[in-house]
Amino acid sequence: MIVDLARLFLFPALMAFAAASDLFTMTISNKVSLALIAGFFILAVLSGMPLSAIAMHTGAGLAVLVVAFTCFAMGWIGGGDAKVAAAAALWFGFDHLMPYLVYASLFGGALTFAMMQFRELPIPYALGSQHWLLRLHSKDSGIPYGIALAIGALMIYPQTDWITGVDLARFVLH
């Protein structure tokens, strides 16, 4: 039951934290990515995932890490975003990787467009002391892409074996 609860809540909570952190600080701590990676391996073992499947999931994470760090090197995304994208890919494996990347890209485009529109508007005087909002509003700052990565991940996660393998009826109160 504890493993099932962890399967239900660990990944979504860490992705939501990554999104909130990126929104308010424009950074995602390495601890979030490390927690995602450790959580995957612990839950994979405790859930009885075959070693071959763990290897395939690891391959998906490494493939995204290579591409994401190339994007980071080009200045297109932040380093925290690259690490979180790779850690999320680890959880999805190749089976759910493409839908995750499509969702993250679509939400990233919408987020970028929304941020461009937001940055054209003046900040209301009452909110002028909110440093996180001023940083977010600045045309010189980047896009908190961790939000798009998290939304994309949370769209796909319920379709994965992590959730479909949990007997949700056990958690319903009668």
This prediction's pTM: 0.91
Counting every residue, how long is the chain?
Answer: 174
> What are 89's two structure tokens?
């890919």
Is pLDDT at 160 greater than 70 in this prediction? yes
pLDDT value of position 171: 67
Q: Round to whole Å and give the CA distance between 89 and 60.
A: 6
**Which of 57-61, 96-100, 111-115, 165-169 is least confident?**
165-169
Percent with pLDDT over 90 in the chain: 84
pLDDT band at 174 (very low <50, low <70, confident <90, very high): low
Task: Give the pLDDT confidence of 93-119 residue by residue, as tens digits.
Answer: 999 999 999 999 999 999 999 999 999
- Classify residue 104 by burial, with Cβ atoms within 10 Å: 0-12, 13-18, 19+: buried
Say if CB 103 and CB 152 are below 8 A apart: yes
Is pLDDT at 142 greater than 60 in this prediction? yes
